[in-house]
Amino acid sequence: MNLRSVDLNLLVIFDALMRERNVTRAALRIPMSQPAMSNALSRLRHLFKDDLFIRSGGAMEPTPRAIELGESVRQILRQTERLMSSDVNFDPATSEREFTARMSDLVGCLLLPQLLATLSESAPRVTLDVLHLSPERTIKALESDELDFGVSMQLQPAPNIRSEKLFMDQMVCVMRADHPLTKGKLTLQRFLNADHLRVAMSPTDIRFVDNVLADQGYSRNVVAKVPHWLLIPPILRETQLIAVISGKLAARFASEPLAVRALPFPSEPFSWDIYWHRRNDNSVAHKWMRSLIASTCASL
């Protein structure tokens, strides 16, 4: 294929479609008109000889070929952006740099409100794309240059991945304010006898609750699992379930009618850390954002 005959702007459009899974939202992201976006999608299909996106309900689901292309296209665009921008002269007040970060809704709830407020004042044209990836996928995404940062809890070390401690946390037990367990001491037996709500496949939950209990020959009675931490407060308000969550997150829910209790078994404090690839060690823009995230976390 002769590259001179290819409109490389189509890669930007492809990436927008992969991110948004919707023609209208992808058009707004570029920005361009919806008819122009539909036309570009037709050209992409011709270029790659594949449907790329199949309509399913209100979304456009990527085909296996689109999924295969997605990671490579995003990596090309990120490398091109760095090539075309002068990192040495990075000025947050005028930069249009996009940063991509991984964090769960738990960390996002703690960090994003203040971080985005600061960005809107000091770097109004800088954008942040937040993804929720598994811990294993986070490391791979940092290595493949899909991510600038990952904010997580004690990921497995990798040779080219740097990390820095952001803030300390500890797991606590939460329940509705009038729950029977709020009366008297929360003993291990009362904890085990209760019906539990937990976040499905949460490494935090598994490490600091289930693994600790298993070492003592116990397990909790989990009657419901949810995909996100932010679903816990409204469920606890309406039920007699209890849950174990981050102490920092519990403090953020202070306005909710929830009671917070220490766990009735040893629970070590742990750190939330920021992770990045060593290729970005000396990037002025990258160091600026790392510093901004760290200073935001200092107030947590």
Q: CA-to-CA distance for 142 and 276, rounded, in angstroms?
A: 6
pTM of the model: 0.76
CB 63 within 8 A of CB 53: yes
Clarify whether residues 198 and 226 are in a common domain.
yes
Q: 162 in helix, strand or coil? A: strand
Confidence category of residue 85, pLDDT binned at 50, 70, 90? low
Average pLDDT, the chain: 91
pLDDT in tens, 31-59: 899 899 999 999 999 999 999 999 888 78
Residue 162 sits in which domain range?
Answer: 95-166+271-300
Q: CA-to-CA distance for 240 and 221, rounded, in angstroms?
A: 13
Q: Where are the beta strands (DSSP E) in 103-212?
A: 127-131, 149-152, 161-169, 171-176, 195-199
Q: What is the CATH number of the domain that holds 134?
A: 3.40.190.10
Which helix or strand (DSSP H or E) is residue 261 part of? strand 258-261
pLDDT of residue 77: 84
Q: Specify if 253 maps to a domain.
A: yes
Clarify whether residues 66 and 8 are in a common domain.
yes
Greatest Cα-to-Cα distance within the chain, rounded to the nearest angstrom: 76
Q: Specify if 89 maps to a domain.
A: no
- Per-position DSSP letters for 42-106, written without gaps between them: HHHHHHHTS--EEEETTEEEEPHHHHHHHHHHHHHHHHHHHHHS-GGG--TTT---EEEEE--HH
Q: Specify if 260 maps to a domain.
A: yes
User: Residue 71 pLDDT more than 90?
Assistant: no
Clarify whether residues 276 and 241 are in a common domain.
no
Clarify whether residues 139 and 281 are in a common domain.
yes
Q: Give which of 227, 218, 267 is closest to 244, Cα–Cα.
A: 267
pLDDT in tens, 176-199: 999 999 999 999 999 999 999 999
Q: CA-to-CA distance for 276 and 150, rounded, in angstroms?
A: 7
| The total number of structural domains that make up the chain | 3
